[in-house]
């Protein structure tokens, strides 16, 4: 159990953290989430006994981290934002050195080293110079030095910083393995990493904890879906004007109709437009109102006439939809629709599209709930501090 009560840190007259209070249970994986300068690194350095707080108390297990930091350090493994690596040492020599700094005998390091190399996937790199390793492998060595003495508490400050996408996935998998045997604290401003690795979040802003809880607890009541994206197969109905190559193939197989002169076609078209122009607006308005009523009753909405997009029409008929725009999807025979809405209407939109006879290929909201919540929290904190 980690218990922090009213801890604070000042650098001269500038407050970097606090006062903040929190508790972390054994076996939890907790994420410290916040913008740059929010106080994440300061908080983790204090918990790692790398930085003495200006005020407050911290207990880790039964030990007082402020009064007796040396005994507490034996229970802690710390990966700082910039790992303390010696470039001219081999991986194995460096881990021996790190273990002896932690008070381990050479025999203890010998017995522990194969396990550490296996957990961090460094089995084939023991005799390589650290300076010759890639950034991702150096991060693994940093994690290895943090767990060489098998601590109960593992603190990782921005563990995915500077990693490429493949290395980020590897580090995420490594953290999941470490969670099985350690209490883990992670700081990050990357929302996906926090949400996929942590059981609980502490959101910091301007040196204070502005929210805490699980992702579900934080997003409940704060996150709002304002934008929805759907992808629909373009030729899923006979009336769709976006039917891609299949429509083209069908037209090529149809027998040619009797042609008319361009002048006759133009005159006939002009007469048709003049005749129907006064009726179009009224018909569109009536159709949209009927579609909205039918969508509310769970009935199938009618497809808009006069060459309008029937998919956009059935989406617009859903209550809560403000506007719909569409474009060609990045793959064949599909359209992508961007929907602006006043509430979460994902379920209603999907039902309307399917009931209208269209093939719904994908539906997603434009902003993740955690991202939306995080922005609301930090922006609200910024407004309050100004």
Q: What is the pLDDT of residues 300-339, one digit of tens each?
A: 344 343 347 889 999 999 998 989 998 887 766 888 998 9
Percent of the chain with pLDDT strictly greater than 90 = 52
Tell me the CATH number of domain 227-248+289-365, given options 3.30.70, 1.10.3210, 3.10.28, 3.20.14.
3.30.70
Strands ordered across the beta sheet of 183-188: 76-79, 153-157, 183-188, 29-33, 200-205, 208-213
Strands ordered across the beta sheet of 334-341: 321-328, 334-341, 227-233, 360-365
Give the pLDDT score at 250: 45
pLDDT higher than 50, residue 154 = yes
The full set of domain ranges for the chain reads 2-219, 227-248+289-365
CA 111, distance to chain mean position in Å, is 39
Q: Any residues with CB less than 8 A from the CB of 300 and at least 6 apart, and which?
A: 294, 355, 356, 357
What value does the mean pLDDT take over residues 230-255? 55
Q: What angle do CA 283, 286, 287 make, to 5 degrees?
A: 85
Give tens-digit pLDDT for 49-104. 999 999 999 999 889 999 999 989 999 999 999 898 999 999 999 999 999 999 99
pTM listed for this prediction: 0.65
Give tens-digit pLDDT for 199-231. 999 999 999 999 898 887 877 655 555 788 899
Tokens for 204?
A: 């910091």
Question: Cα(first)–Cα(last) distance of the chain, in Å?
Answer: 36
> Cα(63)–Cα(152) distance, rounded to whole angstroms?
13
What is Dmax (Cα atoms) for the chain?
99
What value does the mean pLDDT take over residues 286-304? 45
Percent of the chain with pLDDT strictly greater than 70 = 74
Q: How many residues does the chain have?
A: 386
Write down the CATH superfamily of domain 2-219.
P-loop containing nucleotide triphosphate hydrolases (3.40.50.300)
Q: Where are the alpha helices (DSSP H) in 254-345?
A: 262-296, 310-316
pLDDT higher than 60, residue 123 = yes
CB 114 within 8 A of CB 191: no
- When comparing pLDDT for 10 and 243, which is higher? 10
> Cα(66)–Cα(59) distance, rounded to whole angstroms?
8
Tokens for 272?
A: 């048709």
> Cα(85)–Cα(88) distance, rounded to whole angstroms?
9
6 falls in which pLDDT band (50, 70, 90)? very high
pLDDT higher than 50, residue 298 = no
343 falls in which pLDDT band (50, 70, 90)? confident
β partners of residue 183: 153
CB 90 within 8 A of CB 126: yes
Give the pLDDT score at 146: 97
- Helices vs strands, H then E, count in the chain: 13, 14
């Amino acid at each position: 159990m980690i218990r922090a009560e009213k801890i604070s840190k000042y650098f001269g007259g500038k407050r970097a953290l606090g006062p903040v209070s929190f508790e972390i249970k054994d076996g939890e994986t907790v994420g410290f989430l916040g913008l740059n300068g929010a106080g994440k690194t300061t908080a983790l350095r204090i918990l790692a006994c790398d930085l003495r707080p200006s005020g407050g108390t911290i207990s880790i297990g039964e030990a007082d981290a402020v009064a007796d930091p040396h005994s507490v350090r034996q229970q802690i493994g710390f990966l700082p934002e910039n790992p303390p690596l010696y470039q001219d040492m081999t991986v194995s020599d460096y881990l021996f050195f790190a273990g002896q700094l932690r008070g381990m005998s050479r025999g203890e390091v010998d017995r522990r080293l194969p396990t550490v190399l296996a957990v961090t996937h460094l089995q084939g790199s023991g005799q390589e110079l650290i300076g010759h390793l890639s950034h991702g492998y150096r991060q693994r060595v940093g994690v290895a030095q943090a767990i060489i003495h098998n601590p109960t508490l593992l603190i990782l400050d921005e563990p995915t910083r500077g990693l490429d996408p493949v290395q980020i996935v590897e580090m995420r998998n490594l953290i999941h393995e470490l969670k099985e045997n350690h209490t883990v604290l992670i700081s990050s401003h990357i929302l996906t990493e926090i949400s996929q690795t942590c059981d609980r979040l502490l959101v910091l802003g301007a040196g204070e904890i502005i929210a805490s809880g699980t992702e579900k607890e934080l997003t409940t009541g704060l996150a709002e879906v304002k934008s929805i994206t759907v992808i629909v197969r373009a030729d899923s109905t006979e009336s769709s004007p976006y039917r891609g190559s299949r429509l083209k193939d069908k037209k090529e197989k149809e027998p040619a109709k009797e042609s008319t002169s361009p002048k006759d076609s133009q005159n006939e078209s002009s007469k048709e437009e003049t005749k129907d122009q006064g009726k179009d607006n009224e018909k569109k308005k009536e159709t949209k109102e009927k579609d909205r009523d039918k969508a509310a009753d769970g009935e199938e909405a009618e497809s808009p006439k006069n060459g309008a997009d029937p998919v956009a029409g059935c989406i617009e008929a859903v209550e809560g939809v403000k506007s719909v725009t569409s474009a060609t999807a990045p793959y064949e025979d599909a359209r992508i629709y961007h929907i602006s809405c006043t509430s979460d209407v994902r379920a209603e939109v999907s039902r309307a599209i399917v009931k209208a006879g269209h093939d719904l290929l994908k539906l997603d909201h434009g902003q993740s709930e955690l991202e939306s919540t995080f922005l609301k929290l930090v922006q609200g904190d910024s407004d309050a501090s100004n």
